[in-house]
């Protein structure tokens, strides 16, 4: 079975072809970062319009890259939610129309299930059961995974997602957009000993997270320390704040992952979503898993952030099990992952 995947939930247009026998045949990605940069964040209406502009050329490129023609495609998967309603509608209506015209089934994929299954595209895929830490711009969740569609939510952020906290803190420091990777890059040069930020909600039991206080902590640190500073000393201060912020987020995530593994008795940890591209988080989790004698799995860096490959793969899993959409049409901007059907 060969599936075309379409991702348009936010600010990346992604398309990919996944083949049940040959694996991933190819993928194409267009990032709207330049489009939204001047506004300092994603403008939903601009995002939708750009998906409309980019889908056809990207799919043409994908067919050229892979040498595949539409006649060999047996299903279409598109992101049905969660995400920006207008952006989702573009991919959903496009995917459904293509499937209709090709006479093949279509399936709406849950964006976070796409992230969660992305490590399955790698050389050493994780075996069930595993604990997944999903860390993206919109979600921070710990999930016990016993199969495709078998998800038990263990904990989640009660306020900002980890990626959102990276982005907001970067914006507050005036670092530009998209903030997460820029802040992480600066943190590399920061002094880890200058400031120590709190590890929120680690002093009490439970697997929930709270990251919005760290952003405020970064702001008050900046205000307190920056008086009279300009030029290099001010840049150094910001760099050291980046390091303290990143260390706090990474440490907090790692502590909760360890707790989730202990509570479930599971030996494999999967990291997925944009923040799982963070080098320091990977180092920290690798060291922890080596110490425990367990396995840590991640997608390759380009599949940590939004992409079409993860949607093609998740859609293939569902279509090959006979799941597909009916005649009704809809998207699900809010969609709890625990409500998904098992495969």
Which residues in this chain contact Zn ion in the complex, by CB under 5 A? 136, 306
User: In this structure, are residues 234 and 174 in contact, taking their beta carbons and an 8 Å threshold?
Assistant: no
Binding map of ligand KG4 across residues 256-295, x = CB under 6 A, - = no contact: -----------------xxx-xx-----------------
Q: Which does 95 bind (CB under 5 to 8 A by kind): ligand KG4, Zn ion, none?
A: none
Check whether the bond before 129 is cis (ω within 30° of 0).
yes
Q: Does 240 bind ligand KG4 (CB under 6 A)?
A: no
Instruction: Find the largest Cα–Cα distance for the chain.
Output: 68
Comparing CB distances to ligand KG4, the nearer of 113 and 144 is 113
Comparing CB distances to ligand KG4, the nearer of 253 and 319 is 253
Minimum distance, C-beta of residue 115 to Zn ion, in the bound complex (Å): 6
Minimum distance, C-beta of residue 7 to Zn ion, in the bound complex (Å): 8
Q: Does 79 bind ligand KG4 (CB under 6 A)?
A: no
Q: Does 138 bind ligand KG4 (CB under 6 A)?
A: yes
Q: Does 30 bind ligand KG4 (CB under 6 A)?
A: no
| Window contacting ligand KG4 (CB under 6 A); options: 85-93, 121-129, 176-184, 261-269 | 176-184
Alpha helix (H) residue ranges in 67-178: 85-102, 111-117, 162-172
Q: Does 114 bind ligand KG4 (CB under 6 A)?
A: no
Comparing CB distances to ligand KG4, the nearer of 249 and 260 is 249
Comparing CB distances to ligand KG4, the nearer of 67 and 174 is 174
Give the closest residue to 273 by CA, choosing from 133, 174, 151. Answer: 133
Q: Give the binding-site size for ligand KG4 (rule: CB under 6 A).
A: 20
CA distances from 108 to 63, 181, 225, 248, 328 (A): 22, 29, 49, 36, 12
Three-state SS string across 295-331, please? EEECCCHHHCCCCCHHHHHHHHHHHHCCCCCCCCCCC
Q: Rg of the chain's alpha carbons, rounded to an integer?
A: 20
Candidates 173, 184, 241, 260; binder of ligand KG4 (CB under 6 A) is 184
Q: Is 239 helix (H, G, I), strand (E, B) or coil?
A: helix
Give the closest residue to 89 by CA, choosing from 117, 66, 108, 115. Answer: 108
Q: Does 306 bind ligand KG4 (CB under 6 A)?
A: yes
């Amino acid at each position: 079975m060969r599936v075309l995947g379409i991702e348009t939930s936010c600010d990346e247009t992604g398309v990919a072809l996944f083949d049940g026998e040959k694996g991933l045949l190819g993928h194409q990605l267009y990032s709207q970062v330049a489009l939204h940069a001047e506004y300092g964040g994603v403008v939903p209406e601009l995002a939708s319009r750009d998906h409309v502009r980019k889908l056809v050329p990207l799919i043409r490129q994908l067919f050229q890259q892979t040498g595949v023609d539409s006649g060999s495609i047996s299903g279409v998967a598109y992101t049905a939610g969660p995400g920006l309603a207008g952006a989702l509608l573009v991919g959903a209506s496009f995917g459904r129309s293509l499937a209709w015209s090709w006479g093949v089934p279509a399936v709406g994929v849950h964006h976070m299930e796409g992230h969660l299954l992305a490590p399955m595209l790698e050389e050493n895929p994780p075996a069930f059961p595993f604990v997944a830490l999903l860390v993206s711009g919109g979600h921070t969740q710990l999930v016990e995974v016993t199969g495709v569609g078998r998800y038990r939510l263990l904990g989640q952020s009660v306020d900002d997602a980890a990626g959102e906290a990276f982005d907001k803190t970067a914006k507050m420091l005036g670092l530009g957009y998209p903030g997460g990777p820029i802040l992480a890059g600066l943190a590399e040069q920061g002094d880890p000993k200058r400031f120590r930020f709190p590890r929120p909600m680690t002093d009490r039991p439970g697997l929930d997270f709270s990251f919005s206080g760290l952003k405020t902590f970064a702001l008050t640190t900046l205000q307190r320390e920056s008086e009279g500073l300009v030029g290099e000393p001010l840049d150094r201060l910001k760099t050291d704040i980046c390091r303290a912020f990143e260390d706090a987020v990474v440490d907090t995530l790692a502590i909760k992952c360890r707790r989730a593994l202990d509570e479930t008795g599971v030996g494999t940890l999967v990291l997925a979503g944009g923040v799982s591209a963070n080098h320091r988080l990977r180092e920290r989790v690798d060291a922890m898993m080596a110490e425990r004698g367990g396995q840590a799995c991640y997608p390759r860096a380009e599949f940590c952030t939004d992409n079409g490959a993860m949607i093609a793969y998740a859609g293939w899993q569902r279509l090959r099990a006979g799941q597909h959409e009916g005649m009704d049409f809809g998207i699900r901007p809010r969609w709890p992952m625990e409500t998904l059907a098992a495969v």
